[in-house]
Structure 1
Amino acid sequence: MSAPKKKTFKIEPFKHRVEMDPKYAEKTWKLLEHAIHEIYNHNASGLSFEELYRNAYNMVLHKYGDKLYSGLVNTMTWHLKEISKSIEAAQGGLFLDELNRKWRDHNKALEMVRDILMYMDRTYVHNNQKIPVHELGLNLWRDNIIHSSNIQARLLNTLLELIHKERTGDVIDRGLMRSIIKMLMDLGPAVYQEDFEKPFLEVSANFYSVESQEFIECCDCGEYLKKAERRLNEEMERVSHYLDAKSEGKITNVVETEMIANHMHRLVYMENSGLVNMLMDDKYDDLSRMYNLFRRVPSGLSTIRDVMTSHLRETGKQLVTDPERIKDPVEFVQRLLDEKDKYDKIINLAFSNDKAFQNALNSSFEYFINLNARSPEFISLFVDDKLRKGLKGVSEEDIEVVLDKVMMLFRYLQEKDVFEKYYKQHLAKRLLSGKTISDDAERSLIVKLKTECGYQFTSKLEGMFTDMKTSQDTMQGFYACQSVDTSDGPTLAVQVLTTGSWPTQPSATCNLPAEIMGVCEKFRTYYLGTHTGRRLSWQTNMGTADLKATFGKGQKHELNVSTYQMCVLMLFNSADRLTYREIEQSTEIPASDLKRCLQSLACVKGKNVLLKVPMSKDIGEDDAFLFNEKFTCKLYKIKIGTVVAQKETEPEKQETRQRVEEDRKPQIEAAIVRIMKSRRVLDHNNIVAEVTKQLQSRFLPNPAVIKKRIESLIEREFLERDKTDRKLYRYLA
């Protein structure tokens, strides 16, 4: 059962009925209207703002807000129309001054009026969704002043004219411009954009369209870019001084379009001053300016990059295919390094080290270096030249820098295994002849190669260094033996080379002198006595010798010669004159090597320890040779090199290529087996693609060769063809 409801009573105070003066609102408004007139007439000092605020407060409180608000609109409108007449009457340069002064006055008046009508702003305006007093004042100024038929066009034309004057070199009042532009911005984004910015951008586009056409007709590319850069900076400066910050992107876009994008291709290809000329003449400032300007427009950088790539590929192609330029391998590689240094510097200094440009440079070098099949050989010859002893003015630090640069070229090679072949041959000659600048430099390059290509690439190269160290220990043991007498007769230094590590050399015949054979046999006996299951074969074509020679009048010299040259010279201990055929029969040196050997001993001025009859540069089979008794030289030690071509001959080149191709076969087969073992079933095209991907770090295998290796694996039953699809292969476990 619910409880009974309690009755409540409310006691209200007694309301005293107050009679309102019927003319209250009119009288109060007249006071407020008079105050607004006084404010606009600069007579506000005599006004009581507290009393005026209270009057406005009471009008709103007594529900006369409509009268107060509409009266404000009418009064401000009347004053603004009067102000408009004053501004319209201002002549010439006084127009903006008058406008700016009246705008400041209006803002001050507006602040005072807003203070008086603050209660109306907070209550009446808010409740009736009216425009606040300050915003109302701005709107009335916009409608009665800025959009006045006699002011609007005049204001725009005056502003644009002043900007044009500034662009043509005149000095204008930037402070006044800033005040006027700020006025437009204060009136709202739409006013600034529609009444000024939009026509400003249109006029600017026309201005720069005409000017850019004038410039491009009379300036070279570099000068034009300077002018474009200056105009761009001027516009950005103009924005920072008196335009809206949001206008910067719009006006710079106008300059970029009219001065750069519209003339981009003409500038790049401009005769005698375009991009190619800048690249050729190393004009870093102009290139940097072009890069920074072109990056601002669509496809600007790609245009520069494409032209640079095209030019670089063309010059690179000429560099590697010109018969005159490839005569000297060292010069050939040096030109490539110089070209790389040149473009690295351009990209670093002018193109902000842009990765896209660096990639374009790398792809271009990879393209044209591989156009010359001998690039791997030439790069190895260049390294050989730098790492041999006797290089004047080259420190180990300099060598390290050069090796780093060479590694850049090495990365571009598609046939890295060909480089390995030649490098192994050249390294072998340096190590065996002791003509390397330092072991540290040699090992440094091997470390770089290992980092680039992996352990397998350098394992045999490292084995060569191991053999050299082992050989030193072996020789120490040989001469430590009591039975070896080194007091008289020739001394021997032997390097024992592991067959698999060193480049294979054809076993050339050569009859060593009896004195040499004796000590060689002693070493053979010692070595085979300390090692079991080994076989020694002498590589006489790779050795050197130091001979003591006595010439006429007792003049003595020490000759540094090859083993072949030693064999020839020692024949003259028992004969004064020998024919070519007698020398050939006695030494059994291969004819091509013997001719080069005799040529270096008899035909090189200053080192001709032999005389040739008849005298000529070429060696004939009917020639005779005599010991040169009258030979003289200021030096005691004389090095007699062998006349030999630095580059391979065509037969040697073909032989090397054949060996490379043979070495590739097992690598290709191993890759095929690895792929098929994991995939089990695969079609022909995918096998070719995956084999190429696996081996491209060493060489690019020929698809035809891959096909042959697949056939070979099928014959040996590693793979089989699918019975229904001939292009599909299966792995046989």
Structure 2
Amino acid sequence: MIRDILMYMDRTYIPSTQKTPVHELGLNLWKENVIYSSQIRTRLLNTLLELVYSERTGEVIDRGILRNITKMLMDLGPSVYGQEFENHFLQVSAEFYRVESQKFIECCDCGDYLKKAERRLNEEMERVSHYLDSRTEKKITNVVEKEMIENHMLRLIHMENSGLVHMLCDDKYEDLSRMYNLFRRVTDGLSKIREVMTSHMRESGKQLVTDPERLKDPVEYGVSEDDVEVTLDKVMMLFRYLQEKDVFEKYYKQHLAKRLLSGKTVSDDAERSLIVKLKTECGYQFTSKLEGMFTDMKTSQDTMQGFYACHPELNDGPTLTVQVLTTGSWPTQSSVTCNLPAEMSTLCEKFRSFYLGTHTGRRLSWQTNMGTADLKATFGKGQKHELNVSTYQMCVLMLFNNADRLSYKEIEQATEIPANLKRCLQSLALVKGRNVLRKEPMSKDIGEDDAFFVNDKFSSKLYKVKIGTVVAQKESEPEKQETRQRVEEDRKPQIEAAIVRIMKSRKQLDHNNLIAEVTKQLQSRFLANPTEVKKRIESLIERDFLERDDSDRRLYRYLA
């Protein structure tokens, strides 16, 4: 009866008099006389916060009471819920997690700490779903993230015996996943992870290429084909993240060439498997030269069989094995040919006559800097060894068949080895255990006034002794710049080809869209520099492949 009267009053009397509706008036009276009461206000807040604290410490509470009270506060208005409960709740929560995180980080390793932080985060989201306003979820999760993750990021990442690097080395995938998911929620979280991972990968890479033990035996023998395939799949996973795949190709080609020419390829099948994967990923053009290198090696074997079949008389003397490399497929260098020993020079001329006689229109250029030789040597007391040396080292050693002592300048004049003579003599005279020559005066460097003679006291437990050339541990800055320059030169025709393909298809295109399409088309090989693309456009305009629009200079047209 009373309810009906009040509802009728709300519909008829309240609108005409602009008075406060009865329901709203009741809420206001409740708010002022109960919620804001000095006897109830503080007690209500403390009771709510104590219940939340009890639940956080593992006690079972009546969630129904909390849900009803928070709903009542929300019905009184979001500002009431915020002022009377939410703001205090967030402050108390921040202090709670500040203390708890400090306690956890002192006694837990990184993995356990992250599990506890993840559990606390899930608990708070569950708490919101049961008895808090949904808009509180973002605020309380921010508090947990700040106090438990953001404030301890660096300590967690670098934690001894359990931090990020430890997880990577010990394949702690679950912990790594948890760290990633938690750190991505806070500002700069992923960038901190990236910095440490980058540093770790660089340090690991440096150790791989500078560790003397690994350099002696870089390949782990006895690996099954399945293990090789798994490793190659991991390589391809990393390869996909490379932006400059053409730079990778340049260095990979150099290393592959060394392995093929020195016979150090452990498995041709593994080499070909990687090339197939690269071809699938980047297309035929990316691997055509790599495949050409294998083709040359097979063709060279057949050529040498034909050569010795035509010259059976050569089977008794020194043997020559020639790899005929197709220009463009191999990372060959323009080098000055040194003076080969007379025996080898005669063989080389016979091979040249044979090859050019069977292949018309071709030209041979000897790459002596890429060759190797096996020499049989007899030292004092009749000790015999087989020395595996470079072509340059062979030229030097063969001089001592006719001389007991030679000066640096005499060796230089006789061999005409270009810039590598000092490095070559260092390998022969200064490397302990490989010093088949001796020099006077004794010093750590090679001087132009030095004299050299055979080391009669040389001995080794091995019959076959490999004498490597002294090389720098890493690529020098000029070599890096030279490689980079070659890469940039190789990119120019690729950029021009992409521009022509796009313009031939589109007929006309404005500058910005052309740059964008060229970048997109080439991104599978490298990230095209807009400045270089602009230069290639200018070059194509000069050669009448493109023209500018007369009225809009940023619009290009294709000229058929």
Between the aligned partners of 1:615 and 1:696, the Cα distance in structure 2 is 55
2:243 touches 2:526 (CA, 8 Å); kept in 1?
yes
**1:539: how far off?**
1.3
Task: Give 1:302-451 correspondences, 5 Å limit.
Answer: 302-304=184-186, 306-315=187-196, 331-332=205-206, 391-392=219-220, 395=223, 399-451=228-280
**1:655: how far off?**
2.7
The one-letter code of the counterpart of 1:638 is: V
Question: Which string of whole-angstrom CA distances, capped at 9 and with x for unpartnered residues, describes residues 692-711 of structure 1?
Answer: 22112212222222222222
Aligned to 1:571: 399
The one-letter code of the counterpart of 1:544 is: T
Between the aligned partners of 1:331 and 1:227, the Cα distance in structure 2 is 33
**1:472: how far off?**
1.3
The alignment status of 1:595 with 2:422, answered yes or no, reads: yes
Aligned to 1:677: 504
1:260 corresponds, among 119, 132, 141, to 141
Aligned to 2:296: 467
Between the aligned partners of 2:143 and 2:318, the Cα distance in structure 1 is 83
1:228 touches 1:260 (CA, 8 Å); kept in 2?
no
Aligned to 2:480: 653
2:244 touches 2:525 (CA, 8 Å); kept in 1?
yes
Q: Could you list the runs of 5+ residues in structure 1 that have no partner in the other structure?
A: 1-156, 240-246, 295-300, 335-380
Between the aligned partners of 1:469 and 1:631, the Cα distance in structure 2 is 38
Between the aligned partners of 2:60 and 2:157, the Cα distance in structure 1 is 44
The one-letter code of the counterpart of 2:157 is: L
Aligned to 1:144: none
Aligned to 1:12: none
The alignment status of 1:709 with 2:536, answered yes or no, reads: yes
Between the aligned partners of 2:481 and 2:178, the Cα distance in structure 1 is 50
The one-letter code of the counterpart of 2:326 is: T
**1:629: how far off?**
1.0
**1:452: how far off?**
1.9
**1:569: how far off?**
0.3
The one-letter code of the counterpart of 2:145 is: M
2:246 touches 2:526 (CA, 8 Å); kept in 1?
yes
Counterpart secondary structure, 1:709: helix
Question: Which string of whole-angstrom CA distances, capped at 9 and with x for unpartnered residues, describes residues 480-520 of structure 1?
Answer: 33x42244211111111111311232132211111112222
**1:522: how far off?**
2.6
2:332 touches 2:367 (CA, 8 Å); kept in 1?
no
Could you say if the C-alpha distance between residues 167 and 657 of structure 1 is closer, same or farther in structure 2, counting changes exceeding 3 Å? closer
**1:553: how far off?**
0.7
2:150 touches 2:189 (CA, 8 Å); kept in 1?
no
Counterpart secondary structure, 1:611: strand
Counterpart secondary structure, 1:412: coil
Q: Which structure has the larger Rg over C-alpha atoms?
A: 1
Between the aligned partners of 1:568 and 1:161, the Cα distance in structure 2 is 94
Could you say if the C-alpha distance between residues 697 and 601 of structure 1 is closer, same or farther in structure 2, counting changes exceeding 3 Å? same
* TM-score, normalised relative to structure 1: 0.59
Counterpart secondary structure, 1:626: strand
Q: Which has the higher contact order (CA 8 A, sep 6+)?
A: 2
1:162 touches 1:172 (CA, 8 Å); kept in 2?
no
The one-letter code of the counterpart of 1:261 is: N
Counterpart secondary structure, 1:332: helix
Between the aligned partners of 1:622 and 1:572, the Cα distance in structure 2 is 18
Counterpart secondary structure, 2:312: coil
The alignment status of 1:644 with 2:485, answered yes or no, reads: no
Calculate the aligned-residue CA RMSD, in Å.
4.4
1:205 touches 1:258 (CA, 8 Å); kept in 2?
no
Question: Which string of whole-angstrom CA distances, capped at 9 and with x for unpartnered residues, describes residues 229-278 of structure 1?
Answer: 46965996xx9xxxxxxx944449598567533353343332xxx23332
Counterpart secondary structure, 2:316: coil
Aligned to 1:730: 557
Aligned to 2:453: 626
Counterpart secondary structure, 2:388: strand
Could you say if the C-alpha distance between residues 607 and 416 of structure 1 is closer, same or farther in structure 2, counting changes exceeding 3 Å? same
Aligned to 2:340: 512
1:498 corresponds, among 305, 309, 326, to 326
Between the aligned partners of 2:125 and 2:509, the Cα distance in structure 1 is 64
2:117 touches 2:148 (CA, 8 Å); kept in 1?
no
Between the aligned partners of 2:337 and 2:370, the Cα distance in structure 1 is 12
Could you say if the C-alpha distance between residues 386 and 485 of structure 1 is closer, same or farther in structure 2, counting changes exceeding 3 Å? farther
Aligned to 1:278: 156
* TM-score, normalised relative to structure 2: 0.75
Counterpart secondary structure, 2:188: helix
Q: Could you list the runs of 5+ residues in structure 2 that have no partner in the other structure?
A: 1-42, 106-113, 168-173
Question: Which string of whole-angstrom CA distances, capped at 9 and with x for unpartnered residues, describes residues 176-200 of structure 1?
Answer: x79x98xxx9xxxx9996599999x
Could you say if the C-alpha distance between residues 691 and 195 of structure 1 is closer, same or farther in structure 2, counting changes exceeding 3 Å? closer
Counterpart secondary structure, 1:485: helix
2:546 touches 2:557 (CA, 8 Å); kept in 1?
yes
The alignment status of 1:525 with 2:348, answered yes or no, reads: no
1:388 touches 1:435 (CA, 8 Å); kept in 2?
no
Counterpart secondary structure, 2:474: coil
Counterpart secondary structure, 1:589: coil
The one-letter code of the counterpart of 2:395 is: C
Counterpart secondary structure, 2:323: coil
Counterpart secondary structure, 2:461: coil
The one-letter code of the counterpart of 1:480 is: A
Question: Which string of whole-angstrom CA distances, capped at 9 and with x for unpartnered residues, describes residues 264-319 of structure 1?
Answer: 3343332xxx2333233337888877878x7xxxxxx7533x42322134446667
Could you say if the C-alpha distance between residues 711 and 222 of structure 1 is closer, same or farther in structure 2, counting changes exceeding 3 Å? farther
**1:390: how far off?**
5.8
Aligned to 2:6: none
Counterpart secondary structure, 2:313: coil
Counterpart secondary structure, 1:599: helix
1:453 touches 1:697 (CA, 8 Å); kept in 2?
yes
Between the aligned partners of 2:51 and 2:242, the Cα distance in structure 1 is 60
Aligned to 1:583: 411
Counterpart secondary structure, 1:463: helix
The one-letter code of the counterpart of 2:150 is: Y
